[in-house]
Amino acid sequence: MEDHQLVERSRAGDVAAFEELVKRHQARAYAIAYRLLGRREDAQDVAQEAFTRAYFRLGEFRGTAQFRTWLYRILVNLATDVLRRRKPEVPEDQAAFQMVDTGYNPGENFDRQELRQNIEEAITALPTDLRTVILLRELEGLSYADIARVIRRPVGTVMSRLFHARRRLQQSLSAYWQERRPHD
């Protein structure tokens, strides 16, 4: 069953239909919240609150965007509120960014791990507005239009923020790449 069908069934009072929406989107919602907030407890709270608000506001969902886009907008707003209330800090760990290593060469695995760590640190160091758009685009695969809906900004703003986020990441990672280049 498609998300829009589950939304309609949820609106009609079918709790199991909404539970299916939660099952489909909870892992990604938590991952986004964790990447934005850097704390497991905060991410769990924000993801749970996003689903709670979505459930009680299903009547406000117009269906002009995908359910996940609408949910992510709620989630990003909640995460932004949490970030405003606390001081900036380094995430407790980088577990939300981890990728699976499939290679067997210890040297290659070390290189991948080092690169991954550098990328994670560079993303974490981005200001929240830039980190949000880069995560939604590069890790979630949302279109510019969907990101604009999530952050409630024009597509041009999304494009500008992505440009600046990518440029900052490139600058942050340039030292790492310079170390990797063979010296003449």
pLDDT in tens, 96-137: 444 444 444 545 555 567 777 778 888 888 999 999 999 999
Q: Evaluate whether residue 98 is within a structural domain.
A: no
The secondary element (H helix, E strand) that includes residue 127 is none
Domain's final residue, options 87, 122, 138: 87
Distance CA 142, CA 165 (A): 16
Q: Considering its fold, how many domains does the chain have in total?
A: 2
Q: What is the pTM of this model?
A: 0.67
Q: Evaluate whether residue 93 is within a structural domain.
A: no
Q: How many CB atoms lie within 10 A of CB 116?
A: 15
Asked if residue 147 and residue 77 are part of one domain, the reply reads no
List the Cα angle 73/71/7 in 5-degree steps. 145
102 is written with which tokens? 């499939």
Whether residue 184 has pLDDT greater than 80 = no
Asked if residue 178 and residue 109 are part of one domain, the reply reads yes
The pLDDT score that the predictor gives to residue 180 is 62
Asked if residue 83 and residue 4 are part of one domain, the reply reads yes
Residue numbers of the domain that contains 46: 1-87
